[in-house]
Amino acid sequence: MKNIASAGFLTLLILLGSASCSKFVDGYEVSPNSPEETTPALLTTVIQVATFSHFTGQFSRFAAMMTQQCAGTQAQYEDIANYSLLEGDNNNEWNSQYSAITDCNILIDLAGTTNPYYQGIAKILKAMNLGITTDLWGNVPNREAGKGLQGEEFYNAAYDPQEMVYQDIQTLLTEAISDLSKDAGSNAILPGLDDLIFNGDASRWVITANILKARYENHLSKRDAAGSATRALAAIDAAVAAGLGGTDTDCNAIFPGDGNSLNQWYAFQQTRGDYIKMGEGFVNLLEGINDPRLPFYAALDASGGITGTPLGSTLTTTSDIGDFFAAPDAPAPLVSYVEAKFIEAEAAFRANQKLRAANAHNEAIKAHIKLVTGTDAPAAYVTAQASETDATITMEKIMTHKYAAMFTQFEVYNDWRRTNIPALTPNPNGLVAGIPRRLPTTSEERLYNAKAPSPVISDILKPVWWDE
């Protein structure tokens, strides 16, 4: 409080001292680049850019290392690969998540009932940011989060049980579908180019929301195998009814490819080139099935081949992430048709609908290969990997191929924690006796939020609620 008072007094002195010059600056004291009031359009763009960073930046790299798609080979990424996850490591990420959630709350209120499309988009983006936060930390601030502007009683936001957070995520998505299903004429203003993902196309947002409902239902497979499967399949059916039929409706993070608008994997490799490399186990998996995506996933190594860094090694002469995922303007998948088909395959398998599971599995593989390579999957590959039947389909096949298709996406970490597929051996240099299953409570929460867990959670092997 002393610093705030001193700053206010200094500001007052400056204003008094400059009073005689007021006529000189009249009309120039407000910067045209610093608007005094926000708008739904401005907030939508800001939230989407933050969401791109959350899903394709640090947490994406973390997931790739925990699931051994990539290897951390230098500096702090060697530490992460060795499971050194400390309470101060992700303060910035935690704060950024809640900044976005706060902005979503503001956008929901600002849009009001007269702008249901903006409200719906805001609710979907809030669900996504809340989802990735609870998936990493478990119980998190939720119902009191992002409400600091409403008064001091919200300065220390209470932590809600993850089960409640998941219920609220589903409520947000259900409300968003209702908002976005309304007639365009019910909106006072319509989103357009400010919506970087879909340029205001409400129908595509409805598809995305339904796939997200399926995603978060599917996360509950260890808690309620049968019920979550039934609800996930219903959400996939709703997405299909809304128009899901191929990769053309994918929800992607968009990067223009210039200035500060670079694909996050590309930007990272340009400034920290030897910090992360392809993982040996992942490269071997793709080589072992002669996967046509491998040259698109991985760049050539120092010897002109494609190799990965062995688990526990810091070898940096191996392959970088390839151009399909790490070009300056490469879009990054957030919610996709391929993910939807793999969710359908897994949920149908758990619901004992083996033929539906096999068909969805086969379609997911073929659709992703065409998306990545630009051509249909080779006939021999389809025969070997994407011709499953109700008699041959297994959970191992579904989740292994999903692991291959979801390269660079945070969901691979959630899937591995739920299913333990593929079977991974912990890093022999790991500082804990297993692959971490969460992040610890951040130091800023411990220090400044009176309602943070007490004692704080420091055990990174402790599963979150849905992983128990």
Following DSSP, what letter does each residue of 393-407 receive, concatenated?
Answer: --HHHHHHHHHHHTT
Under the phi-then-psi rule, with left for phi > 0, alpha for psi from -120 to 50, and beta for the rest, what region is 388?
A: beta
* Count of structural domains, the chain: 2
Residue 109 lies in a domain: yes
Domain shared by 70 and 184, yes or no: yes
Residue 172 lies in a domain: yes
Domain shared by 72 and 171, yes or no: yes
Domain shared by 98 and 184, yes or no: yes
Give the residue numbers spanning the domain of 284. Answer: 264-326
Task: Mark which of 326, 353, 372 sits at the end of a domain.
Answer: 326
Residue 333 lies in a domain: no
Q: What is the pLDDT along the chain (468 residues), one digit of tens a residue?
A: 333 333 332 333 333 333 333 333 334 334 444 456 789 999 999 999 999 999 999 999 999 999 999 999 999 999 999 999 999 999 999 999 999 999 999 999 999 999 999 999 999 999 999 999 999 999 999 999 877 777 777 789 999 999 999 999 999 999 999 999 999 999 999 999 999 999 999 999 999 999 999 999 999 999 999 999 999 999 999 999 999 999 999 999 999 998 889 999 999 999 998 999 999 999 999 999 999 999 999 999 999 999 999 999 999 999 999 999 999 999 999 999 999 999 999 999 999 999 999 999 999 999 999 999 999 999 999 999 999 999 999 999 999 999 999 999 999 999 999 999 999 999 999 999 999 999 999 999 999 999 999 999 999 999 999 999
Domain shared by 53 and 134, yes or no: yes
Task: Mark which of 326, 348, 366 sits at the end of a domain.
Answer: 326
Contacts 24+ apart (CB under 8 A), 219-225: 219/135, 219/166, 219/414, 219/418, 219/466, 220/166, 220/466, 221/346, 221/350, 221/418, 221/419, 222/418, 222/466, 222/467, 222/468, 223/465, 223/466, 223/468, 225/350
Residue 447 lies in a domain: yes
Task: Mark which of 305, 326, 347 sits at the end of a domain.
Answer: 326
Residue 437 lies in a domain: yes
Domain shared by 174 and 44, yes or no: yes
pTM of the model: 0.92
- Please say whether the beta carbons of 204 and 251 come within 8 A: yes
